[in-house]
Amino acid sequence: MLDYIVVGLGLAGIAFCEELEKHNKSYVVINQHRGATAVSAGTYNAVILKRFTLAWEAPTQLPILQDFYSDLERKFDTKLVHPLPFYRIFHSVAEQNLWFEASDKPWLQPYISDAVIKNSFNSIKAPFGFGKIMQTGRIDLNTLLKVYTNYLSSKDTLIEEEFNFDALQVGSAVVYKNYTAHKIVFAEGFGIRQNPFFKKLPLDGSKGEQLILHLPDWEAEVIVKSDIFVVPLGNQQFIVGATNDFDDKSPAPTQSAKKQLLTSLKKIYSGKTEVIDHWAGIRPTVRDRHPLVGRHPHFNPMAILNGLGTRGVMLAPYLAKMLYAHLEHNHSLHPQATISRFKKIVW
């Protein structure tokens, strides 16, 4: 008898596995599909840069994020956390003024510099300068996925196969093929659309595409955000993204998205560009822009951890703690995260 079966090994699945390990719980992970985590830039910041407002629960999430990824670095003796300044390009004096207004708000002051940074970069087009976001950076998610997959494989706790719902039995416990567990947690990302127990939840998904580029003339070793973001990886390589398509749900990269990203880059960059790689993934986005966490209302041993959207790096450790405390100690879930907010329309 295991304590848990975890379905999915993206950020949500990894974060929940870490909660289980901290509490000495036994588990297996079932995973096959390459999800959105594998093609995510892995950036984190506390501010919504379109509106200069604080992201949902960001002050609570940031300290948890820092502890979580630092612990993983020590656990695997691998560099994962790359603190980087985050510069938001201003496109007008009006945007500068909105920035100044935001920087006066007490709840934003820990995260927003109150100064406009003049553009000193030769190849970057920013005549109105930049606003600086603080407590920001990038998590190397590709490395995290590799080391965590290898770790679970070495313990014989990873089953690499597509989950077969016909092989699942749910009663007071759950049985899946040869495994019996007290509980099962689904952390499949967009794969929820194939899950007969949770597929009615309003997770629409949005396709995001990004490029890996060689930009030899880009001088800024910071994350730069305009209508796209440019994230330094070292050796003059950068992630440039991301598109946002709610209609196309195919996993393949598209030429139209590639053209869109390169066109947007030209608006802010005048140097040479070489395309190295092109990625695509479906983000698990929810209609009300909040996550999906909680027990199934009719099957007590069954729970979900999903809907992390574009902020999975910040949300995953926070929500994993929340769900574990709920399942093990009956702690309440955040009202904007619990799936019970959809109970009337779904079940």
The two structure tokens encoding residue 67: 């502890």
What percentage of the chain has pLDDT greater than the value 70?
99
The two structure tokens encoding residue 71: 């612990």
Average pLDDT over residues 11-22: 97
Is a pLDDT exceeding 70 seen at residue 347? no
How sure is the predictor about 51, in pLDDT bands with cuts at 50, 70 and 90? Answer: confident
Is a pLDDT exceeding 80 seen at residue 33? no
Helix, strand, or coil (residue 75): helix
How sure is the predictor about 187, in pLDDT bands with cuts at 50, 70 and 90? Answer: very high
Strand ranges inside 42-197, DSSP E: 43-44, 47-48, 53-54, 81-83, 86-89, 112-117, 130-133, 137-139, 158-159, 168-170, 174-176, 179-186
Q: Tokens 């996925």 label which residue?
A: 145
Query: Measured between alpha carbons, how far is 262 from 229 in angstroms, rounded to an integer?
Result: 12
pLDDT at 46: 96
Query: Measured between alpha carbons, how far is 318 from 325 in angstroms, rounded to an integer?
Result: 11
In the predicted model, what is the mean pLDDT of the chain?
94
CATH 3.50.50.60 fits 2-42+142-202+287-346, yes or no: yes
Q: Is-same-fold flag (2-42+142-202+287-346; 81-132+205-283)?
A: no
pTM of the model: 0.94
Domain boundaries defined on the chain: 2-42+142-202+287-346, 81-132+205-283
Residues 200-247: pLDDT tens digits?
Answer: 999 988 999 999 999 999 999 999 999 999 999 999 999 999 999 989
> What does CATH list as the number for 81-132+205-283?
3.30.9.10
DSSP character at residue 320:
H
